[in-house]
Structure formats: structure tokens, C-alpha cells
Homo-oligomer: A and B are copies of this chain.
Amino acid sequence: MHSTERIADRPHLPVGLEGEFTGWRTSSRDSFEINTGPFWHRHAPDGSILCAFRVEKKHLNGAGSVHGGCLMTFADFCLFAIASPVLQGLGVTINFAGDFVDAGREGDLIVGTGEVTRAGRSLLFVRGQLTVEERTLFTFAGTIKRISRTREPQPAA
């Protein structure tokens, strides 16, 4: 796929300037992700996309675990980060499925990785996992539909 480097870097997204995510990119215009994140992504040395965030109090549910909605929000962020090299444009998530395998805790570094199993003309199939070190917290799969900028209001993404 041409232009992978340029697109996957998504240079329009701001770069972390200090702390553990220095050099990673995050969202800048997505209110929900700004409020729930920041969520970060960068290229791994092997060219794959690496996503991550550090669990804070605001990510927890009443039982002190990372909230399922937080894991799903971050996983949705991961879908697009993982797909970015082949999406090269706009897309919306049309469906999502996930399994809550284990609990995350405050202070954990949650890492999201995955793969595009197919990049078609209209649909992209993506799946991945969220882990803390060797421990799998969440596995997920989602389908992204490519959209054009001129289209009318679209499903959520």
C-alpha cells in the first residue's frame, strides 16, 4: 500500500511532548476521546501500529476496575489507528464485538494492537487485543465502512 508512512503517522494529529508518551500521536478534534483519553498511538519498530494509555482514576468503574466503556472506547480508537495505513480517508465503525477477559487497574499501561484482516473497497475488517504486559484484558473485532467527505450524516465512529 503506497503512502503508508505518511498516512499511518497521521501528521495532523498532535504529538506528545513530554512524559512516557513523548513522540506518540493522539486525537485533537475528537471531544469524546479528549475527555476520556488521552489515547496514544505510534509505529512499532516492526511497522505495526501500537496504541496505549495509562489508567487513571477517571477510567475506573465503581469496583475499581477499568470501565468496560473505557476499554471499548479505547478499542474503537485502536480500530482506526490500526486501520489508518490502509483506510487513507474517513470511515465509520459499523459494528463491534468484544470479550472482557480480565480486569485492568489504576496505573496499568494498557496496550492495544491488532491487524486488518481485509481492506476492501468499501469495508475494512479489523481485530485486536488490549493487554497489560503479558495479560490479555479485552479482545475485539470491528468493521469500518469507508465514507466520503461529502456524504450525509453517518453512523457513529
Contacts and interface: CB of A to CB of B under 8 A. Distances in A.
Nearest to A93: B68
Interface string A107-149: 0000000000110001101010100000011110101010000
A103 B103 CA distance: 30
A98 interface: yes
Contacts of A43: none
B94 A100 contact: yes
Interface string A87-111: 0001011111111111111000000
Interface in A52-78: 57-63, 65-74, 76-77
A38 to B, nearest CB: 13
Given A31-B59, A139-B127, A66 B97 contact: no
24 contacts: A30-B67, A31-B59, A31-B60, A32-B58, A32-B59, A32-B67, A35-B58, A61-B156, A61-B157, A63-B154, A65-B156, A66-B156, A68-B157, A69-B77, A71-B156, A94-B143, A95-B97, A95-B99, A96-B96, A99-B125, A101-B155, A118-B136, A122-B122, A127-B139
Interface of A: 27, 29-33, 35-36, 57-63, 65-74, 76-77, 90, 92-105, 117-118, 122-123, 125, 127, 129, 136-139, 141, 143, 145, 153-157
